[in-house]
Amino acid sequence: MKKLTLKGVRIVSTIMMALLVVAVGAVCLLPERTVYISGGKTYAPIYSGNTEKAQVALMFNVYENTDIVNAIVDKLADNGVIATFFVGGCWADDNTETLKRIIAGGNELANHGYFHLDHKKLSEERNREEISCCHEVVKALTGYEMELFAPPSGAYGDVTLKCAASLGYKTIMWTVDTIDWRDGDVDVIVSRATKNVTSGALVLMHPKQHTLTALDEILAFYKEKGIACVTVSQCIAND
């Protein structure tokens, strides 16, 4: 068997280093799936719902554009479907009537923190304040008890999961991100919300004008495919 020359060793080393860089990069690009374990209980964020049923859940993260939120509520009602609205506390505090309209339409209210902060960087006390303050505002204004929490920008850590669980919340992420907060192309939003959609998908959206426009085609697609639009709580239920 021939021995490797110095040049050969260098080539092999370069190849191995390149493969290592690619592998590390691939891992870094995967969505974070931290699991917090305490007292024998496991608290993991939820990325999808029940895959045994032909259904999806539309999730609207709300901190702005009240007029569009109201229009989305109307459009959902016109199509006979419901969704989940993850509301920011500082927005909810100024929009009591819209909160009540969301509930009246059979939709679900959920917690999106109070000030849209990076929960991964917050202390345990601040994590708890953000979640509980939003909860108390919505409860005071509507009487509604929220049970689902979506960390702003999808940023969370073990402390976030611990606080959410201790406050009676399930932490929700998403299966499909339309990235509508960044991209204003209606066709792109429709494609992201419908292409390769699977049963149990949690589809993330925001109250943007182009998203409102895209909803007609998105909902028509789901209807044609026999896919029901339900709340996140209904979608993640196992019964």
Q: Which of 178, 160, 145, 172 is nearest to 236 (CA)?
A: 172
Angstrom distances, CA of residue 232 to CA of 8, 115, 175, 191, 235: 56, 22, 12, 21, 5
The model carries a pTM of 0.84
Q: Tens digit of pLDDT for each residue in 25-76?
A: 433 333 445 565 555 566 899 999 999 999 999 999 999 999 999 999 999 9
Is the separation of the CB atoms in 222 and 56 below 8 Å?
Answer: yes
Q: For the chain, which residues make up each domain, given as ranges?
A: 1-30, 36-236
The band of 239, judged by pLDDT with boundaries at 50, 70 and 90, is low
Return all residues near 47 (Cβ < 8 A) that are at least 6 apart.
Answer: 31, 33, 173, 174, 175, 202
Q: Which has the minimum average pLDDT: 39-43, 60-64, 188-192, 205-209?
A: 39-43
- Which tokens is 202 given? 């949690």
Query: How would residue 238 be classed by pLDDT, with cut points 50, 70 and 90?
Result: confident
Which tokens go with 13? Answer: 């080393």
| CATH annotation of 36-236 | 3.20.20.370
